[in-house]
Amino acid sequence: MSENNLFSLKLTYTFFYAISKLLKTNPKLTFLQDRRFADLSNTLKNVQTEIVNKHNDLRRGVSPPPSNMLKMQWNTTAAANAQNWANKCLFKHSKKEDRRIGTRNCGENLFMSSYPSTWSNAIQSWYDEVHDFVFEVGPKSPQAVIGHFTQIVWYSSFLIGCGVAYCPKQSLKYLYVCQYCPAGNIVGRQHVPYQKGTPCGSCPNHCDNGLCRVQGVERIIQLACDCAEVIKPGDVAPTWLVRYFTTAAGGASQRASGGRSATEDLGSPTRTKQTLHPALKTNTMALLPVVLFLTAVLLPSFPTEGKDPSFTALITTQTQVQREIVNKHNELRKSVSPPASNMLKMEWSREVTANAQKWANKCTLEHSSPNERKTSTKCGENLYMSSDPTAWSDAIQSWFNEHHDFIYGSGPKSAGAIVGHYTQLVWYSSFRVGCGIAYCPNQESLKYYYVCQYCPAGNNVSKKNTPYQQGAPCGSCPGNCDNGLCTNTCEYEDLLSNCDSLKKTAGCEHELLKEKCKATCLCEGKIY
């Protein structure tokens, strides 16, 4: 039985055609890309230190604080296993026998990108599933993916090894693999990946800056699981995350539809999030018979067609679905920090929806061309893919969560950070949204395809670090305000970046301005 059938896979990816074409045609940029990849090698001591320190920083920073969190350390065997698997470029999880240390089974997180991303960014993307997790409860919603996060902060996983490979035949050319030993995500305990309490409360004599040293590991595991013997880790829910980064070229206005970025998360993890169905996750060999039984009983009940009730409830011809999508966007747009003075209120567009649905129905799992998402203006696009039906609010939230990698006025926190979904979602002048969803049975694992298009398009190259104007909510539209969002919208867009100066010198009667500067000439007093 395919492991993919057990996973809840998510995929989000960002499309920037401009950069992607430059990387293919510009030798200097390709050379820089190769240098960045070489800097990720797990044979480098600074890389090993970065990976271990990032994990330990995140582990000691969990909320509520942990009393029994072990301090992670680098393991050459786990690193060799991770590198061997990465080198296969298979873009799926390894078999459990390929990620063992002695008799110990190990967990696994995957990250994929079309661009070399730092290890810290990859690890942070897994950890960011914390936003969908409630300690002692579990996922905030049935579709929420939290397996990457829980594996990273699983109290007893203290050995880690990672590897990265370049896969030139794939669109996602960079495959990152981290393996964790002993494996986490024990069945029945996913909602409590550690014991809460005073840091090092379970190991007062073996404490290192809030984390327990491994000298007390067996006692700590016994205390945490309240069992008679130390857990012998068995199967783990592997986690699979995919991040796709590229860029798209705009038009005369130099809009990068790479703001139409999409980030993809595959199951626990990918966007990053559980791999096995919650009922099937296990970390102990003692539960293997139970797992096999549950697999036989539960899998036949999983939907095999896209017309199951949970999928039908996502179809965007329904008024309540449209309302959910619009309200979620507006809720996030008004919550940006720093606050926005010129953020337009989004509204549903049937025309945009038709384009989005038409593209979703193609099941190509890649971005549409600019002409296929054009209305009276150019439009941006965000994509989301999953192996299970996910609530629209969760898909939209996953795009918005890229704000953790974004600094207003500066841009991405690092060269490899993906922020295009977020910036398109909060682009001040994008006020019309339309979305569609399709079931793609011929796809191996990512069968549910979500598409949202935004008009006018965001991510203008010259303004990508400031997707809106900072200031008091509605400061730019005092007479046209609705609960912190502006309502004085403009149906047109400028196709040139210097329309203001052209208007002063040539006037709006000039043929060039009539064609290329419609917003400047026809939307005085409105936001565009």
Q: Which of 242, 276, 301 is the last residue of a domain?
A: 301
pTM: 0.47
- How does 197-226 read in b/e, with b if 16+ C-beta sit within 10 Å? eebbbbbeebbeebbbbbebbeebbebbbe
Check whether residue 326 and residue 459 sit in a common domain: yes
Please check whether residue 407 lies inside any domain of the structure: yes
Residues of the chain short of pLDDT 50, as ranges, are 1-32, 216-306
Are 242 and 219 found together in one domain? yes
Q: Does the residue 487 lie in any domain?
A: no
Indicate whether 391 belongs to any domain. yes
Same domain for 295 and 344, yes or no, is no
- Residue 274: per-residue pLDDT: 30
- Can you tell me which residue has the tokens 């936003």? 131
357 and 387 share a domain?
A: yes
Q: Which phi and psi angles does 116 have, rounded to 5°? A: -65, 115
361, 452: one domain? yes
Asked if residue 233 and residue 325 are part of one domain, the reply reads no
Q: Is 393 found in the same domain as 288?
A: no
Give yes or no: residues 177 and 223 share one domain.
Answer: yes
Q: 436: left (phi > 0), else alpha (psi -120 to 50), else beta? A: beta
Q: Looking at the 3D structure of the chain, how many domains does it have?
A: 3
Give dist(CA 483, CA 480) in Å, integer. Answer: 10
C-alpha–C-alpha distance, residues 125 and 146, integer Å:
11
What confidence score (pLDDT) does residue 40 get? 94
Does 271 share its domain with 159? yes
Q: 430 lies in a domain?
A: yes
For residue 512, what is the domain's CATH number? 1.10.10.740
CA angle 425, 427, 428 (to 5 degrees): 130
Residues 472 and 505 in one domain: no
Could you give the 3-state DSSP secondary structure of residue 6? helix
296/313 same-domain check? no
Is residue 166 a part of any domain in this protein? yes
Element housing 73 (H / E): strand 73-74
Residue range(s) defining the domain that contains residue 330: 309-482
For 102-136, how does the pLDDT look when each residue is reduced to its tens digit (9 = 90+)? 878 899 999 988 788 899 999 999 999 999 999 99
476 belongs to a structural domain = yes
Q: How far apart are CA 383 and CA 398, in angstroms?
A: 11
Rounded distance, CA 100 to CA 107, Å? 9
| Residue 73 belongs to some domain of the structure | yes
Does 81 lie in the same domain as 53? yes
Question: Can you give the pLDDT at residue 438?
Answer: 96
Report pLDDT for 33: 54
CA distance 347 to 293: 48
Q: At 466, which CATH number? A: 3.40.33.10
CA 170 to chain centre: 19
Torsion of CA 193, 199, 201, 203, to 10 degrees: 80
Instruction: Please give the pLDDT value at position 172.
Output: 82
Is there a domain that residue 248 lies in? yes
